[in-house]
Structure 1
Amino acid sequence: MTSGPVSSMASLYVGDLESNVTEAMLFEKFSAIGPVLSIRVCRDLMTRRSLGYAYVNYQNVSDAEKAIETMNFDALKEKPLRIMWSQRDPSLRKSGVGNVFIKNLDKSIDNNVLHDTFSTFGTILSCKIAQDLHGISKGYGFVHFATEEAATNAINKVNDMLLNGKKVFVGKFIPKTERLKLAEETAKRFTNIYVKYLTEEYNDQMLRELFQSFGKIMSTKVMIDDKTGKSRCFGFVSFESSDSAQKCIEELNGKKEMANGKKLYINRAQKKAERQEELKRRFEELRQKRVNRYKGVNLYVKNLNEDFDDKRLADEFSTFGTIKSVKVMCDGTTGRSRGFGFVCFSAPEEAQKAINEMNNRIVGTKPLYVAFAQNKEERKELLNAHFINKTNSVLRAEQIPTPMAHSHHPPQLPSHPHLFSAAINPAAAAMAYAANPAMALNAFGGHRMSSNSWNDMRRGRRIKFY
C-alpha cells in the first residue's frame, strides 16, 4: 500500500497535463475512485493558459492512495498522467533528501518504466524523465524516494548497470546552487586550455613548443580540416597542473602576436553546453543594458504620412529637447515610410514633454500617436492583459440572467455532476437554489455544498463540493 508523506491530507499533484485538459475532465476521471472535494488546474495569471499541472483533493486518504496506485501514468488526452502526493512544504523537495539523479538513459525509457525500475527499493514520492519541447527524453531524470535509505540503496544497486543496453549513472541529486558552486570551484582548477588565431602551418608539435615553458604538458591537439589537411587555426593544450594553465592565460592571452597579425586568444576549454550557457547569459546582459539605456527616453511614433523621412521626423520633435537618434521605418522595396518610427531623446523629461505635446496632434493629414517605445515582452504582456480584461467583460455580460416577465419558474440546471466547473452560470444557479433548494442540489448529483458556496457562485468564485 502506498502511503503519502502527510497522511492527514488527501491532496494529489497531477502533472504532465495537456494544455486543453480541464477541471471537468479530471473530475470525470478521478471521481471514479471516490468523492472528490475540489480540483484546480493551475493557470498562468496573465494568459490563463494551463501550466500543465493540477491539484486533486479527495475526501478520503484511502481514495487518494488508490488513485496513485491504479491511475498513475494512465493516459488522458493521449498523454500519461504523473500523479504524486502534493507537497505543500517546499523544504522537503528542496532539501534533496531521498532525491536521486539518473543520466545516460535510453530515449525509450519513460516515466512509467523509470518508476517500475526503482519502485523495488522503496516508496517513490515522484519520478520524472526530463523532456524537450517535443516530448522527447533528454536522457536523464529524477526519482524522489520517501527515505534516504531507499535512495542510497538504489544508487548502490543501479549505478553502472545496463538499462536497455546503456550503462546508466545513478547518484545523489545535487541542488542547482550547489552545482553552480561546484562548477565555479572546478573552473578554477582547470588544466585544459583553448587556443585560437594560430597560423595554418601549426601542428601538434609546434603547439607544444609554444607552451612548454609554462609547465609539463600532457597533450596537445591542433584541429585539422578534413578536406584541405591544413590547420583550422585553433587547438587545445592539456597541462599537468592548473597553475601552469592559469599562468599561460595570464601571460599570453591577447599579448602574443602571430605571423598572421592576430594576437593569440587563450582561455579555459569549455564544453559546448557550457559555452552556449555563457553566451546566452552575456546576450541577456547586453539586451538588458540596451533596454535600460533607452528606457524612458525612446518614443514610438505612428500614423506618419508616407512622405515622412528621418529629417522631417526630427524637425517635428526637435523643439522638445536634444535628439540622440531618429528613425522612420521604411518599406524595403518601395523605400516609402511604413507609417511609424522612433525618436530617442537625451533626457526622460524631454521625452515626456514630447508625448504631452505631440500625442494626437495632427501632422500632415493624420493625428500622431506618440508613446514610450516598448520591447517585445512588454507589448506581449500588455496585449495579454487587454485580452483577458476583454474576455472577462464578455463573460460577466453573458452571466446576467435574462428577465422572464411571464414566467414563474426559475432557470433549469442540467442534472450533471460536472457543473462545478467554470461553465456554470452563477446567477442562474443562485436563482434556482433560492426558488427550489432540493431541485438545485439534485442538479449537482446530490453533492453537498458549504453554507457560503451559493453566495460564492453568485459572485463568480470557485466552489467546492463535500
Structure 2
Amino acid sequence: MANTFTPISPSLYVGDLLPEVSEQTLFEVFNQVGLVSNIRVCRDTNTRRSLNYAYVNYYNAGDAERALDTLNNTPIRGKPCRIMWSQRDPSLRKSGVGNVFIKNLDKGIDHKALYDTFSAFGNILSCKVVTDDNNVSKGFGFVHYESQESADKAIEKVNGMMINGQKVFVGPFKSSKERGQPTEIKFTNVFFKNLADEIDSEKLKDLLLPYGPITNITIMVDEKGKSKGFGFANFESPDSAKNCVDNENGKVMFGKPIYAGRAQKKIEREAELKHTFETKYQGVNLYIKNIDDSIDNDKLREVFNPFGTITSAIVMKDDKSSSSKGFGFVCYTSPDEATRAVTEMNGRMIGTKPLYVALAQRKDIRRAQLEMQHSQKFKSGGIRQQPMAPAYSGGPVFFTPAPGPMNPQVVYQQMMPRAPRTWNGAPVGVPQGQYPINYGVRGQPRPNGPRANGPRPNGPRPDSAQPIPAQPIETAAPAAQPAAAQTEAPLTLASLNGLPRDQQNVALGEHLYPLIQSTQPELAGKITGMLLDSLSVDELFTLTQRSDLLQEKIKEAIEVLGSA
C-alpha cells in the first residue's frame, strides 16, 4: 500500500543502517529508482562515526515516493533499512503526537507487515519493529501517524486483537521520563579484580567487614595456589554490597587500583563486552590478514604507526606452536586514522605478501554481508556490484550535475555505474555464477579469452557449421603439445600488473580453476567465478600461492552456495 503522505520536499530519512554503510553505498541502492540529488550519512561531530541513519534527497518527490514504496526494508549490507519521509521539525518527532507503541508482537512480524496492518487507519510517517543484532524481532515496535486522530483509531481498533495467534497491546507512546526510571538492580555478590598477589581471602575479608556481614568470600588461585588476581565476596544484604562497590572501586591496595562491581553472569558480561566493542572500537579497529610469518607485534605496530596513534597492535598466534596465524588487529584512536591506514596499506607488499586491510567487523555481520553480496550477484546473473568506498568522514556527497541547463538523460548516464566487467564480451559472472570455460587441447579446461600466442587466424571456427577435416588422434595430440607449451609461463604479481584487468582474470582463472577442481569438481566453475568477481588481483594471486587460504575461500563459497 503506497504512503499517500504528501511531502514538502523530496527528502527521505533512511535508518537502521550498519556503521560501515557510506554515501556511495546508499547511492548505488537509491539511484536505481530515480535521479539522486545528494546523500548525507549523519555522523558524530567529534568521532565522525556513523549515527546509523542518513538523508537521501531526490530531484523530484515522485522518485522519492517510489523509493519509499519499493526500497523500504531492503537489506543494505545484510540489514534491512527503514525509510520514511524526512521530518525536519523536531517538535513533531518529539511531541509524541500520533505515536503508537505496540508490544507482544509475533516474531514473524517485520516492518512491512506492521506497516500493512496499521496503514488502514491513516498516513504513516514512521514504522519500526525493534530487532536485535541478528535482525530478530524483540516483540515490540512503534508506528508514528501524521495525525493523533489516526493514532487513536489504531489504538481503539487493534488493542487486544489477535495477530498471528498473539494478543497484542496497542497504546500511546510514552517517553522514558513518562515511564519513569528503571528499577535499580539489587545484588549481594561483588566481583573484585586487579588484586595484588599479597591479598588473600583473609585480608580481603578484613577490608570488607565494615560494610556488613559476609556469607562467603574467595580469591581464585591457579594449580600452584598462586592468586589469579580476582575473587568474589557475597554479602547478606544488597545495601552492604552496593556500599562496598561505591567505596572500594578504584581504591589503591598494594600499589594497584582494584575493581569492585556487581558480579555478572557470563551472558551479561558478553553483552557488555559486545556493546563496548560496538561503541568504543567501531571504526577504529582494523583487521589485517595475509601477514607474513616474519611479522610480529612490534613490526606490525611499526608498519602502521605512520597513520596515527596506535592503542594496540597484535598478530594472532597459535596456542600450541606460538606461530603466526597470518592475521591480526591494529587499533587507532580515531576513525580518520584508521581510514587512512586502510587506504594506504590495503594491498601493500610487506615481506613477501600483499596485506589485506579493512575495518574490523563482527563475524555475524561479515557473514551476512558476504551472503547478501553473493546472493545479489547470482540473482542478477553475476553482474558485479560497485566496490564499497573506504569509510567516509566528511560532509554529504553531492551528485548534482554541472552548472547549466540540466539534461536528465545526460545526468542519468553520468550517474550510471560502470558496465560490468566482461570476459570475451560476456559478463564475468554468467548465470548462476558459472565460470565460463570450454575444453581445449586434450580435454583440459581453458577459460574463454584471448590466446596468449596471438589472435585467432582467419578461417572457420571449430564450432561453426562448416565441416572440420579429419585428423588422426595420434598426430593431433603431438601437434597441440608445442602450442600449449608456448602459452605456459610462471604466474607472478609483476606479470599480472602489466596486463589489462580482463586479461588478469583470464590468467588467474586458468591457475585457480584446476586447483579448485581438484577438491570440488562439481562446483569448480561457480566457485572460480565467485572468487574472480569478488576479490582483488593481489588477493587472487595470493590464493594461487597459498593452498590453505584458497581452501578457506572455497569453504566460504560453498556455505554461500548452500544458503542461496
TM class, shorter-length: 0.3 to 0.5
Choose 1 or 2 for highest CA Rg: 1
TM-score, with length taken from structure 1: 0.43
